Amino acid sequence: MDASYEAARGLTDLEGFLYWEAHRRSAHRRATEFAARVTGLSEAQKAEIEWWYVEEQIQVCRKLTEHITDHFTAVEEHHAKRYAQLRRGAYFATLVINMVVLGLSSGVILGTVR
């Protein structure tokens, strides 16, 4: 593999990690703020609420990311099929045009030879 490809892949992986980590920290901060406002909770209960909320947010984010990935994959497949159809049509049109031009050229050449 090319070193530039590896570097780009590494940067993409790092960006993904930083995105997930920022999302996790944000969810943890929101959960901590929520648990602090609820009166009468023990520290263990607050920790449980924080853990549950962060895990729930991670699952929601993961499902959303999977949905977006599936959608992009479907769109990409659709465009690939459509491009293949257009390419085949262009090849066929080029073939027909070349045959017509060849036929006309042959007719002109044979017509001038007689």
Task: Give the mean pLDDT of 3-31.
Answer: 88
Place of tokens 């929601």: 60
Count of structural domains within the chain = 1
Alpha carbon distance 105, 110 (integer Å)? 8
Q: What is the model's pLDDT at position 113?
A: 66
Instruction: Report residue 95's pLDDT band, with 50, 70 and 90 as the boundaries.
Output: very high
Q: What is the model's pLDDT at position 12?
A: 87
Residue 49: give the domain boundaries: 3-113
The count of other CB atoms within 10 Å of the CB of residue 53 is 17
pLDDT tens sequence across 21-51: 898 899 999 999 999 998 898 999 999 999 9
Pair 67, 90: CB distance under 8 Å: no
Integer CA distances (angstroms), 37 to 46, 49, 64, 94, in order: 10, 12, 29, 72
Place of tokens 């073939």: 95
3-state secondary structure of 70: helix
Q: What is the model's pLDDT at position 81?
A: 97
Cβ neighbors of 53 (< 8 A, separation 6 or more) are 27, 30, 31, 34
